[in-house]
Amino acid sequence: MHVSYQGLPMRPITDEEWPAFCRMLVHAFHEDAHQDVTDTERKIFEPERSLAIFDDDQVVATTGGFSRELSVPGATLPAAHVSLVAVLGTHRRRGLLTRMMHRQLRDLREIGREPVAVLWASEEPIYGRYGYGAASQQVNIQAATREVRVSPGDGTGRLRLTSPGEAVKDLAQVYESVWRHRPGFSSRQDPWWEYRLTDIERHRNGATERRCLVYETAGGVVGYALWRSRAQWDESGPNAEVTVEELVCPDPVGYAELWRFLFEIDLTRKLSARFLAVDEPLFSLVDAPRRLNRQLSNALFLRIVDVPAALAARRYAAPVDLVLDVTDDLLPENTGRWRLTGDASGARCEATGAPADISLGVRELGAVYLGGTSLGGLAAAGLVDGRPEAVVAASTGFGWPVAPLAPEVF
C-alpha cells in the first residue's frame, strides 16, 4: 500500500534541528555521523537556505543552498549553489524531492537575487526533470608516471613545499587572481577556504595528510598544488601513488613546473587527479598523453532561474542577435520569446513578439550557458530546433575560449 506524504510539512530548519538534518544526510549517503564532520559542515551551512520535510519529528527529506558567486563567460554573477539533497529510503518515490525542488526554484525566482542555480548530481538522470542541464565536464586521470614526461618550464621561479594552513593566504590570493577567468569556478571566501582545507584523517583512505607545493617568483607565490601520497610496495619495489586534489597557476612556467614535480616524486609510480578541464594545458605538456588514461564525466549542472537576467549577465564569443523561444514548465515566467543581442563587451535580453530563430527548453539553455556544451551538438541530437544559420551563430556565440571547470564539489 502506498502512503501519501504530500501533506507532510516542509520548511527551513532551525539551528537546533541541525543534528537531525545531518543524521538524515549521512544515512542517505551511506556514511556515519561524526562530530568533527558535522562541525565542519556547519561552518558553511546557511539554515535560512535549507528545506526539510518532516514526518512527525523526523527529517525525511532535505535540500539546501550556498550563497556564492559563479564565474560565467566574461563575467561573474550570484548563483545558488544547491546541495544537501536527499530523501530517506522509507520515503522515496512519494514526490518529496519534486516538492522540494519546485519550492526551491520558486523561492529563488521570487527572491530574484540569483539568475542561475548550479549543483553536482550524484544521480545524473534526476535533475533534468527540474530544468538543470549538464553544463560542464571534468577529466580524471590515472597515469603511470614512469611512462609520462612533462616538458620542463624555463623561468626564474622556484618550488617550495609547505603546509596548506601556513600558505592559506597565498593560496587564496592565487585563487582570487584566476577564478573570474574560468567559467565554472566559484568564489571562495574565508569559511570556504577553512572548509576546503579541513583534513580529517578518517577521510584520507590510507593516504598522507594534505601536502602543499607553491611556485613563487620575485613577486611572490603565483601558483600552488594540493596533493597527497599513498605508500605502496610490491615485488619490484616502490609503487606509491600521488593524488592531486587541486592545482591552480596562471603562470605557464609555474604550471609546468608544478606538474613536473608531482610526476617525478621519488618512490612513486602512479599519479591520479580529478577536476581537470577538458582543455587542460597538461595534455599538451606531456610526451605521451594517452598514458594519462583520461576519463570524462559530467560536472556542474546549471539551471536558468531568470532567462533575461542570466543571458544579459554573460558575454558572447561572437556577436549574436537572435530570438530564442524558451519553454520552462516549472517557472512559466521564463517561457516565451526573448531577443538576445550581445558580444564580448555586453549583452541585452528582452521579451519580443518577433518570430523565433531557435526553440529550446530551459534545460538545454542551461547546458550551453557556460560555453562547455555545443548548441549545435544539441541541435544534432534533436534537442534544439532552429534555422541552420541561427544555430551556427548561437553555437559560436555561446562558446568561450576556455572550457568551463568546477574545481570542487560543494
Q: Which residues are catalytic?
A: 127, 410
Instruction: Sort strands 10-11 and 51-55 into parallel, antiparallel or unpaired.
Output: antiparallel
Beta-ladder partners of 240: 268
Report the C-alpha gap between 304 and 109 in whole angstroms.
10
Report the C-alpha gap between 226 and 274 in whole angstroms.
12
Residue 220's CB is within 10 A of a number of other CB atoms, namely 10
Q: Cα angle vertex 182, ends 346, 101, to 5°?
A: 85
Report the C-alpha gap between 304 and 132 in whole angstroms.
8
Q: Work out whether the CA dihedral 32, 38, 41, 47 comes out positive or negative.
A: positive
On whether the CB atoms of residues 55 and 70 are closer than 8 A, the answer is no
Report the C-alpha gap between 266 and 242 in whole angstroms.
10
On whether the CB atoms of residues 332 and 314 are closer than 8 A, the answer is no
Report the C-alpha gap between 331 and 365 in whole angstroms.
14
